[in-house]
Amino acid sequence: MGTIASHERSERAARAGAGVAAVGRRIHAQRTAQGLSLQEFATLAGVDAPALSALERGEGATTLFTLYAAADALGVPAGAFVSVGDTSADAAPAAPVPNPTPVPATGGDHGPTERAPRTFADLRKGALAGRTFDTLPQFAVAAVLEARYSVAAIARVFRVPAWKLQGWVDEKTGPDAASHRR
C-alpha cells in the first residue's frame, strides 16, 4: 500500500513539475515577445533577475509573489500563465501579447503608432508633441491618459514598475478608474 501511495505522489510531483515548466516557458515567451531583456523585466517586476530566470526555466519553488510580479510587469493576468487541472507542458494556450490600442488620427499624428514607444523621443510625437512637464511622473501619466498608451508600455520607457505608474495614474484619475489599466 505504501508503494502505491509513494508512486502516486511521484506522479503528482512529475505533473506539477511539468506544469511549472510550462508556466516558465509561457512567461519567457511573453517577455521575449515584448522585446524585454531579463534585466529590464526584473526592473519592471521589482524582482531580482535570478529569481525570474529560475521562474522562466521552471526551476525551484517560485513564490506566488514572483509569479504575480512577473505577470504585472508583462501586463498580463497571472492566470493567463497557469492552466489549472492541466499540467501538460503544451496543453494551455500561450498568454496573449498585449498591444497598445492605436487611436485613429484626427488631422495629424495624434495617437500612438502600432508599435509601443521605446524612448522619450517616441513619446514626444503625436498627442504629446511640444508639451513640457514639470516632473517625469506627470509626463508618464500624460502618456497613459492623453496619448493612450498602456501602463506596461510606458513603465518600460520610464523604467519604473508598472504598479508604481498605475499608482500615479490612479492619483490623477481616482482609484476607481480602471479603464487605463493594462
Q: What's the pLDDT at 85?
A: 54
Q: What's the pLDDT at 181?
A: 46
pLDDT of residue 67 exceeding 60: yes
pLDDT of residue 3 exceeding 80: no
Q: What is the mean pLDDT of residues 78-86?
A: 70
User: Could you count the other beta carbons within 10 Å of the beta carbon of residue 163?
Assistant: 16
The residue that leads in pLDDT, 32 or 94, is 32
Q: What's the pLDDT at 109?
A: 45
pLDDT of residue 107 exceeding 80: no
Q: Which domains does the chain have, with CATH numbers?
A: 2-81 (1.10.260.40), 98-182 (no CATH)
Q: Which amino acid is at 5?
A: A
pLDDT of residue 149 exceeding 60: yes
Compute the distance between CA of residue 117 and CA of residue 20 in angstroms, rounded to an integer. 32
pLDDT of residue 26 exceeding 50: yes
Are the CB atoms for 18 and 89 separated by under 8 Å?
yes
Q: What is the mean pLDDT of residues 25-50?
A: 88
As given in the structure block, the three cell numbers for residue 127 are 498627442
7-20 pLDDT, tens digit each: 677 787 777 778 88
The residue that leads in pLDDT, 86 or 4, is 4
Q: What's the pLDDT at 127?
A: 87
Q: What's the pLDDT at 88?
A: 46
Compute the distance between CA of residue 112 and CA of residue 142 in angstroms, rounded to an integer. 12
